[in-house]
Structure 1
């Protein structure tokens, strides 16, 4: 190898140096021009999982059981249909998280991104697609027997969902019981949406 010479390892020409400097300058300009990441609860843009970004609760995804498993075990179920790039779903994520906060140990909370659905409809009542109406957010509450006790589109108030679960679990109505209080670790961080 002593006598071999490699022309590409020889000294750089003037043009090669100039091109190298131009590429470094271009890379620096691109880095300086990168916009900071921003999350907007009032925008229909994707910023990540809505439960992590807007509800402070990544534990909702994935659910512990499927709808079929929960119905087979006669466990009450809360289905929440959503998409991550919808402002309505972003605003509603805190309500879904609140339902999990109060009923997550006694009912199966199953948030379902409709982006994962195939376009094919199903006739199987143990498949969540069977209950999806085509709009988000949408919530469906099942009692222990698998009967649908609430199926609504839009931002259904927590109180309405709470009323259905109080009926399912045979609890006192809200007016006759102790006021439910939020835990502080699960609150919406407004700093994330700036």
Structure 2
């Protein structure tokens, strides 16, 4: 091979590699800037993470502490909440489920059920969540200590309606005759500590 041709190829080779690397870098940059980020919010049906963490600030609900079968076997009141993480109705309702846990979480079992995790079967036992699921979300089911269903309703059931059923379960005064339940502030000032 001619020496002048070798010198020419050696001089051109680095330019060719630089050109290819610049083109690849440009292509990668174009792809990065053309990919749109996922913008999900409370008013759309897009998945943006666990709805209890994102919209209710309560990651302690998922996974539940006990199954429905364990809760019914212990004769403990239960609250089933059927949901999906990518439903705007469920996202808006997450705060109500969290509020139920706030007031009744120590005396009743709060069991959120992602309907996507319910196994598809021809028939369910009464100890399985699929037995009570009616095909829509959100849906709530309230059980008393003996496992009797006191409330089974689809849609955004108001906290007050759920509270009324739990007041029956625990033999509490009706809301009209009792002191209004109030949320405690996490930054509540205690005058006893200041003394």
More off after superposition, 79-88 vs 120-129: 120-129
- Contact kept? 1:51, 1:60, Cα under 8 Å: yes
Q: Give matches, 1:149-168, under 5 Å.
A: 149-168=150-169
Q: Distance in 2 between matches of 1:93 and 1:166?
A: 21
- Contact kept? 1:82, 1:112, Cα under 8 Å: yes
Instruction: Normalising by structure 1, report the TM-score.
Output: 0.85
Q: How many pairs were matched up?
A: 176
Q: Distance in 1 between matches of 2:184 and 2:39?
A: 27
Q: Distance in 2 between matches of 1:20 and 1:75?
A: 66
In the alignment, structure 1 segments of 5+ residues that lack a partner are 1-9, 186-194
More off after superposition, 106-115 vs 13-22: 13-22
SS where residue 141 of structure 2 aligns?
strand
In structure 2, the partner of 1:4 is: none
In structure 2, the partner of 1:73 is: 74
In the alignment, structure 2 segments of 5+ residues that lack a partner are 1-9, 187-195
Q: Distance in 2 between matches of 1:121 and 1:165?
A: 32
- Contact kept? 2:118, 2:129, Cα under 8 Å: no
In structure 2, the partner of 1:174 is: 175
Instruction: Normalising by structure 2, report the TM-score.
Output: 0.84
More off after superposition, 152-161 vs 118-127: 118-127
In structure 1, the partner of 2:114 is: 113
In structure 1, the partner of 2:146 is: 145
Q: Distance in 2 between matches of 1:155 and 1:63?
A: 21
Q: Distance in 2 between matches of 1:155 and 1:121?
A: 28
More off after superposition, 13-22 vs 109-118: 13-22
Q: Distance in 2 between matches of 1:107 and 1:148?
A: 14
Per-residue deviation at 1:25?
A: 1.9
In structure 1, the partner of 2:44 is: 43
Q: Which runs of 4+ in 1 moved over 6 A?
A: none
Deviations 1:71-130 (A, max 9, x none): 010100000000011111011111001000100010000000001122224330000100
Cα RMSD (Å) of the superposition?
1.8
- Contact kept? 1:121, 1:129, Cα under 8 Å: no
Q: Which has the higher contact order (CA 8 A, sep 6+)?
A: 1
SS where residue 56 of structure 2 aligns?
coil
- Contact kept? 1:121, 1:130, Cα under 8 Å: no
